[in-house]
Chain A
């Protein structure tokens, strides 16, 4: 089970550990976002510092209806103790974890300042 918390902006955050191309590990905080269909977003500078590999460019939509084109990379995330391959959209917003990564999991959010967030794989 992955455990996180709700911050003072009422955002449900979890810690994400990613493997860098140099063999290291980087831990960062991502906001769980059920409005995001993909796996993960990261700023381009973070993607570059991790040395992630570019895979595709895709066209998609933001909440205001605007259409954007984003580069997509691949990353290995240590997810609940196991290596997991995810795709990462380059975006300058705060890191997001979306429904692509959360598929087949049960997510609970205690939506109060400091409340608990849990992400549990469903068999």
Chain B
């Protein structure tokens, strides 16, 4: 059992992140980034639909219920990462 190789709806975590980031850059950044920096976003990596909000737990659970059969990528708008284990998070730019 290995976090890096475990699959979720057929995808590894790295594959989910890559597809989620591609969808964000291609279709969502321009629309969402102004005015939503710091909000949490969860993207259905199959359809590109998403949930957005202020609370990490609430948005994550809402997306899991709305897109139960697809892998989902979570991110914090305007940040290079949505979590840190050690170090400090900073807004990009």
Q: How far is the CA of A13 from the CA of B39 in the complex (A)?
A: 31
Q: How far is the CA of A60 from the CA of B82 in the complex (A)?
A: 5
How many A residues, CB 8 Å from partner? 40
> Is B84 on the interface with A (CB-CB < 8 A)?
yes
Q: Mark A52-95, 1 if CB is under 8 A from B, else 0.
A: 01111111111111010111101000000000011101111100
Q: Which residues of B contact A93 (CB under 8 A)?
A: 85
Secondary structure at the A interface, as helix, strand, loop or mixed, is strand
> Is A45 on the interface with B (CB-CB < 8 A)?
yes
Q: Which residues of B contact A74 (CB under 8 A)?
A: 57, 60-61, 64
CB < 8 Å neighbour of B73 from A44, A58, A61, A62: A58
Binding site for A on B (CB under 8 A): 1-3, 6, 8, 13-14, 16-17, 20-21, 42, 56-57, 60-61, 63-64, 71-75, 80-87, 89
Binding site for B on A (CB under 8 A): 33, 35-39, 41, 44-45, 48, 53-65, 67, 69-72, 74, 85-87, 89-93, 96, 98, 100
- What are 10 A-B pairs at a CB distance below 8 A? A37-B85, A55-B61, A55-B72, A58-B74, A60-B85, A62-B84, A74-B61, A85-B57, A91-B3, A100-B56
Q: A35-B84, A44-B6 known; 13 other A-B pairs, CB under 8 Å?
A: A36-B85, A37-B85, A53-B64, A56-B42, A57-B8, A59-B82, A61-B81, A65-B87, A70-B13, A72-B74, A74-B60, A87-B56, A93-B85
